[in-house]
C-alpha cells in the first residue's frame, strides 16, 4: 500500500489482533441460546451451514481481503464491482446493523445477565445500565489503535475463559447428576428447522470481513487476513458448538429460551460448586457456586461488549471511507490525529442509544420482544448488504483478472462461482425467512402452520413483526439515498471508480492504492 498523505491510519494490528477481532466478531454470545432453544437439530444445521456457507464465505473473503486490502473492505469491493451509488447504499445497510445490534440484542442480553446474576434493574435503572453499556462500547471504538487493539484481545480471552469454565463445570455436573437423554433422531434435519434456524446460525457465522474493513490499521493485510481467517474459523466453530451442546445436555427442552438459554445453563452447571436445582427447575446458587456464577456473568458481559466493539471497529472505518469517497457526508469521513473515525463513531453510539431507548419504551417491558425485533433487524440489514458484497467477488474476478491474489479460492472459475452461489443464495434465503417466518411451511398442501414460526414475543402478531422489519429496512434505504445525495459535492472532485481509493484522514482524504 502506498499513501500520498502522512495522515494515513497507523498500522498497529497484527495477526494476533486480527484473530482476536475475528473471534469477537463471529462468536456472538447473545445468540447461543437461540440455537440451543431449537434442540439438537440446531447442531446439525450448524454443521450443514458451516459446510455450505461458512467455508465458502471464508474462502471468498480470504481472496478479496488479500487481493484488495484497502481501508474500507466491503465498501471498496462493491464500489470497484458495481460503482459508488450501489456501494454507498450497501455500506449504509452494513454499517447501521452494528448500532441496531448493540442497542438491541447485545444490550438486552447484557442487562438480563446483570439482573440474573447480580441485581434487578427496575424502571430508569435499566435505561442507565443500557447507557453505560453503549457508552463503554463507544469509548472503546474511539480509542487509538495502540489502545483499542486490546479490546478484542480482552474479548477473545473472556470467551475462552468463560466457555472453558462452562465446559469444565459441565463435565463435573455430568458426573454428579447425569445428563439429559438425547437420541439420534433428535439431530435429524428438517425443513422446518432450516427455516427457523438459518437466520440465527448464519448471523453466528458472520464477521469474516471485519478485519478487512479495518485493513488500514493492519501491518500486513495480504498475509494476515488469510491466516487469521483459517484460525478464526476453526476457533469459532469450537467456541459455538461446545457450549450449545452443553446447554442441550444440561437443560430439558422445555426450559430452553432464545434469550436466556445459555445463561440458564451456566446457572445449572455452577451448582456443582455450591447450590442445587429444585424439582421445578429453579436454580439456587450458594457459596463458591454463586461466586463462579458472578465471574462467568462478568465474562459474558465483557464478551457481549467486545462483540459490538469488534464489529464497530471495522464498520465505522468502512463507513468513514464511504463518506470520504463521496457516498456520504464528507464531514463523517474525517478521522482524528490517531486515525480513528471519531465522527462516525459518535453517530453510531447515538444511534445505538436511540435504538435502546425506543425499544425499551415501545416494548412496554416485554424484553423478549425487544430482543427478537432487535436481533432480527440486525441480521436482515447485514444479510441485505452481503448480497451485493458477495456478488462483488465474481465481478472483481472478471474486471480485475491481473490483480495479484496472494490467496485464491480453489478450483478455478468453478470454485469461484460455487462460492458465490452458495453465499448469495444463503443470504437471499435468510432475508426471506426473516421477513416471513415460516417461509414455505404449510404451502402446496404440506403440513404445518407458518404462524407457529413467528419469533418469541410476537406470537399471533405477524403484521406487527413484519412491520418491525420492513419499516426500518425502508428507512435505512432512504438514509442511504440521503447520505449519497449529501456526498454530491465530494463526488465531483473525485475520479471514476478505480483501484485508487480515498481513505479518511484528519485533513480530508488520502489515496490508498493496492499494489
Report pLDDT for 6. Answer: 31
Q: Which of 164, 167, 195, 33 is nearest to 108 (CA)?
A: 33
Higher-confidence position of 38 and 469? 469
Report pLDDT for 71. Answer: 74
pTM over 0.85: no
| CA 455 to chain centroid | 19
Report pLDDT for 112. Answer: 81
Where does 163-253 show beta strands of DSSP type E?
A: none
Do 25 and 311 touch, CB atoms closer than 8 A?
Answer: yes
Domain segments of the chain as ranges: 11-508
Cell digits of residue 130: 443500557
Tens digits of residue pLDDT in 412-442: 889 999 999 999 999 999 999 888 888 877 7
Which of 147-156, 200-209, 506-515 ranks highest by mean pLDDT?
200-209
Residue 297: what are its φ and ψ, rounded to 5°? -65, -40
> Does domain 11-508 bear CATH number 2.60.120.260?
no
- The band of 29, judged by pLDDT with boundaries at 50, 70 and 90, is low
Q: At CA 494, angle to CA 490 and CA 496, rounded to 5?
A: 130
Q: At CA 382, angle to CA 380 and CA 384, rounded to 5?
A: 65
Report pLDDT for 170. Answer: 80
Higher-confidence position of 342 and 6? 342
The residue behind cell 457481549 is: 304
Over residues 191-201, the mean pLDDT reads 83
Would you call 420 helix, strand, or coil by DSSP? Answer: helix
DSSP codes, 47-80: HHHIIIIIHHHHHHHHHHHHHS--TTTHHHHHHH
How are the residues of the chain apportioned to helix, strand and coil, as percentages rounded to the nearest 5? 70, 5, 25
Say which residues have a Cβ less than 8 Å from residue 501's Cβ, sequence separation at least 6: 70, 71, 72, 76, 79, 321, 325, 511, 512, 513, 514
Over residues 139-143, the mean pLDDT reads 79
Q: Which of 84, 92, 85, 82 is nearest to 388 (CA)?
A: 82
Up-side HSE of residue 105: CA atoms within 13 Å toward CB? Answer: 26
Report pLDDT for 479. Answer: 94
Q: Where are the alpha helices (DSSP H) in 330-448?
A: 342-362, 367-399, 412-435
Tens digits of residue pLDDT in 347-391: 999 999 988 887 777 655 555 666 677 778 888 889 999 999 999
pLDDT at residue 17 is higher than 80: no
Amino acid at each position: 500500500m502506498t499513501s500520498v498523505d502522512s495522515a494515513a491510519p497507523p498500522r498497529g494490528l497484527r495477526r494476533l489482533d486480527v484473530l482476536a477481532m475475528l473471534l469477537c466478531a463471529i462468536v456472538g454470545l447473545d445468540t447461543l441460546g437461540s440455537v440451543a432453544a431449537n434442540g439438537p437439530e440446531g447442531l446439525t444445521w450448524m454443521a450443514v451451514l458451516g459446510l455450505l456457507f461458512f467455508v465458502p464465505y471464508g474462502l471468498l473473503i480470504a481472496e478479496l481481503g488479500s487481493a484488495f486490502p484497502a481501508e474500507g473492505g466491503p465498501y471498496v469491493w462493491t464500489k470497484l464491482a458495481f460503482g459508488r451509488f450501489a456501494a454507498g447504499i450497501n455500506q449504509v445497510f452494513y454499517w447501521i446493523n452494528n448500532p441496531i445490534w448493540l442497542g438491541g440484542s447485545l444490550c438486552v442480553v447484557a442487562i438480563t445477565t446483570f439482573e440474573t446474576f447480580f441485581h434487578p434493574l427496575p424502571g430508569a435503572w435499566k435505561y442507565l445500565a443500557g447507557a453505560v453499556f453503549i457508552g463503554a462500547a463507544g469509548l472503546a471504538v474511539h480509542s487509538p489503535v495502540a489502545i483499542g487493539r486490546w479490546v478484542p484481545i480482552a474479548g477473545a480471552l473472556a470467551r475462552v475463559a468463560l466457555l472453558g469454565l462452562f465446559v469444565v463445570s459441565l463435565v463435573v455436573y455430568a458426573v454428579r447428576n447425569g445428563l439429559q437423554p438425547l437420541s439420534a433422531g433428535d439431530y435429524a434435519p428438517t425443513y422446518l428447522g432450516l427455516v427457523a434456524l438459518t437466520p440465527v446460525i448464519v448471523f453466528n457465522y458472520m464477521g469474516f470481513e471485519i478485519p478487512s474493513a479495518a485493513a488500514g490499521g493492519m501491518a500486513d493485510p495480504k498475509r494476515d487476513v488469510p491466516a487469521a481467517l483459517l484460525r478464526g474459523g476453526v476457533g469459532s466453530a469450537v467456541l459455538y458448538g461446545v457450549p450449545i451442546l452443553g446447554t442441550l445436555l444440561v437443560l430439558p427442552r422445555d426450559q430452553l429460551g432464545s434469550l436466556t438459554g445459555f445463561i440458564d445453563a451456566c446457572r445449572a452447571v455452577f451448582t456443582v460448586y455450591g447450590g442445587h436445582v429444585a424439582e421445578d427447575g429453579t436454580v439456587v446458587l450458594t457459596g463458591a457456586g454463586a461466586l463462579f456464577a458472578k465471574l462467568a456473568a462478568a465474562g459474558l458481559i465483557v464478551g457481549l461488549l467486545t462483540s459490538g466493539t469488534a464489529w464497530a471497529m471495522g464498520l465505522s472505518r468502512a463507513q468513514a471511507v464511504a463518506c470520504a469517497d463521496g457516498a456520504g457526508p464528507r464531514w463523517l469521513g474525517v478521522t482524528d490525529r490517531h486515525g480513528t473515525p471519531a465522527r462516525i463513531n459518535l453517530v453510531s453510539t447515538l444511534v445505538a442509544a436511540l435504538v435502546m431507548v425506543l425499544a425499551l419504551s415501545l416494548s412496554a417491558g416485554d424484553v423478549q420482544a425487544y430482543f427478537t425485533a432487535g436481533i432480527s433487524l440486525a441480521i436482515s440489514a447485514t444479510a441485505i448488504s452481503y448480497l451485493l458484497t458477495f456478488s462483488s467477488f465474481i465481478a472483481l474476478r472478471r474486471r480485475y483478472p491481473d490483480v495479484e491474489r496472494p490467496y485464491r479460492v480453489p478450483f478455478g472459475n468453478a470454485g469461484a462461482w460455487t462460492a458465490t452461489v452458495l453465499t448469495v443464495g444463503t443470504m437471499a434465503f435468510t432475508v426471506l425467512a426473516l421477513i416471513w417466518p415460516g417461509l414455505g411451511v404449510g404451502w402446496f398442501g404440506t403440513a404445518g402452520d407458518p404462524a407457529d414460526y413467528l419469533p418469541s414475543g410476537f406470537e399471533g402478531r405477524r403484521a406487527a413483526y413484519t412491520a418491525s422489519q420492513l419499516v426500518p429496512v425502508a428507512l435505512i434505504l432512504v438514509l442511504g439515498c440521503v447520505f449519497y445525495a449529501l456526498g454530491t459535492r465530494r463526488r465531483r472532485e473525485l475520479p471514476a471508480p478505480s483501484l485508487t481509493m480515498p481513505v479518511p484522514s484528519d485533513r480530508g482524504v488520502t489515496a490508498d492504492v493496492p499494489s
